[in-house]
Amino acid sequence: MDKAPSLRLAAPGELRTDRSEALRYLGYGKSSPDMAVLALLESCEKELLSSCQGRACWARVPVSFPSEHSVDIGFGPVESVSLAKHLKGCHSALLFAATIGIGADRLVVRWSRLRPSRSAVLDALGSSAIECWCDDVERELTKDEEKHCDRFSPGYGDFPLHHQKDFMHCLDMGRLLGISLSDSLLMKPSKSVTAVIGLGASARTCGSKCMFCEKKNCIYREVMV
């Protein structure tokens, strides 16, 4: 990869949340929240969206398969059976990173001391907001593509988390998005995502992120209807 990444900033009012996703993160499954919780969701949503800043950057990279268990997505071979499988049939890919900014972290920290319920709800809404922002940017980026895969992130399957460092370098995430990595390879702002989106005529999707995951007994697992 020899190209600088592209950057996109969310327009004012562009970020959104997905309440049903947030409720899923809060353990609701198929149950509905009562009025008090709905009111809490609503007020947290306002607070969250007014303190978030959406940013995303990406770069197009060629994809090659040095071996059966590895795939090269622009920064040398990645040893990962699940990523290789996921990108099978792709000729290129988008390396992608996005964040809704540090505002969400600040709110979660702030309320965790004073109103834990608010903190938990803001956390869940923040997670839904970064997913929505990723979905929106991804849709825009892939609208002219013949076919594309779902987002696949370091940490999914056996895609090692240490490749976060490669994403940081290749996408200049520190400068463009204000993202930093902790020693344990987690991103700050914490409502941030890095992912590969495979492109190519035979790229495949499977409809739900949860289907990649090997933790089949997860309480957050999306119920496929």
Partner 1 sequence: MNLLEKIRTSRTYCDGGMGTLLQARGLKPGELPERWNLARPEDIIGIHQQYLEAGSNIITANTFGANVLKFGDELEDIIVAGLNNVRTAISRLAPEKQADRFAAFDIGPLGKMLQPLGELPFEDAVEIFAKSIRIAARHGADLIFIETMNDSYEAKAAVLAAKENCDLPVFITCVYDAQAKLMTGADPAAMVAMLEGLGVDALGMNCSLGPDQMLPIVPRLAAETSLPLIVNPNAGLPRSENGKTIFDVDAEYFSDVMVKIVEAGACLVGGCCGTTPEYIRRTVMKTSGLPYRLPEKKTHTVVSSYTHAVRIGEEPILIGERINPTGKSRFKQALREGDIDYILNEGVRQQEAGAHILDVNVGLPEIDEPAMMLSVVRELQAVSDLPLQIDTVDPAAMEKAMRACNGKPLVNSVNGKPESMEAVFPLVKKYGGVMVALTIGPNGIPETAEGRYAIAVDIVAKAEAYGIDRRNIVVDPLAMAVSSDPQSANVTLESIRLIEERLGVHTSLGVSNISFGLPNRDFVTSTFFALALQTGLDAAIMNPFSVEMMKVYHSYRALRGMDANCTGYIGFASGISTQAAAGNAANPAVAAADSAEPLKHAVIKGLKEKAGALAAQMAAEMDPLDVVNGQIIPALDVVGKGFEAKTMFLPQLLMSAEAAKAAFEAVKAAMPASGQPSKGKIVLATVKGDIHDIGKNIVRTLLSNYGYEVIDLGKDVPPQKIVDCALENDVKLVGLSALMTTTVPAMEETIALLRRSGARAKVVVGGAVLTQEYADMIHADHYARDAMETVRYAEELFAE
DSSP at 149: P
C-alpha–C-alpha distance, residues 204 and 200, integer Å: 9
C-alpha–C-alpha distance, residues 176 and 56, integer Å: 8
Helix (H, G, I), strand (E, B) or coil at 143: coil
**Distance in Å, CB of 178 to partner 1, minimum:** 4
Sorted by sequence, the CB contacts under 8 Å of residue 69 that are 6+ apart come out as 79, 80, 81, 84
Q: Of residues 115-174, which lie at the interface with partner 1 (CB under 8 A)?
A: 115-117, 119-121, 123, 161, 165-166, 169-170, 172, 174
**Smaller CB separation from partner 1, 34 or 68:** 34
Q: How many residues bind partner 1 (CB under 8 A)?
A: 60
Tokens of 225: 């209807």
Q: Which of 13, 68, 114, 216 binds partner 1 (CB under 8 A)?
A: 114
Helix (H, G, I), strand (E, B) or coil at 46: helix
Dihedral angle over CA of 72, 76, 81, 83, nearest 10: -60
Q: Which of 33, 77, 89, 160 binds partner 1 (CB under 8 A)?
A: 33
Q: Which of 45, 105, 138, 150 binds partner 1 (CB under 8 A)?
A: 105
Q: Give the bridge partners for 61, in sequence order.
A: 93
**Smaller CB separation from partner 1, 70 or 112:** 112
Best CA proximity match to 74, nearest among 204, 170, 193 = 170
**Smaller CB separation from partner 1, 51 or 88:** 51
Asked if residue 81 binds partner 1 (CB under 8 A), the reply is no
Interior angle at CA 200, CA 2 and CA 185, nearest 5:
55
Asked if residue 223 binds partner 1 (CB under 8 A), the reply is no
Asked if residue 108 binds partner 1 (CB under 8 A), the reply is yes
Q: What are phi and psi of 16, to 5 degrees?
A: -145, 170
Q: Which of 18, 75, 81, 142 binds partner 1 (CB under 8 A)?
A: 75
Asked if residue 71 binds partner 1 (CB under 8 A), the reply is no
Q: Of residues 182-211, which lie at the interface with partner 1 (CB under 8 A)?
A: 182-186, 188-189
Crossing angle of helices 35-50 and 116-142, in 10° steps, is 60
Asked if residue 46 binds partner 1 (CB under 8 A), the reply is no
Instruction: Give the residues lining the site for partner 1 (CB under 8 A).
Output: 1-7, 9, 26-29, 31, 33-34, 36-37, 40, 53, 59-60, 74-75, 101-103, 105-106, 108-110, 112-117, 119-121, 123, 161, 165-166, 169-170, 172, 174-176, 178, 180-186, 188-189
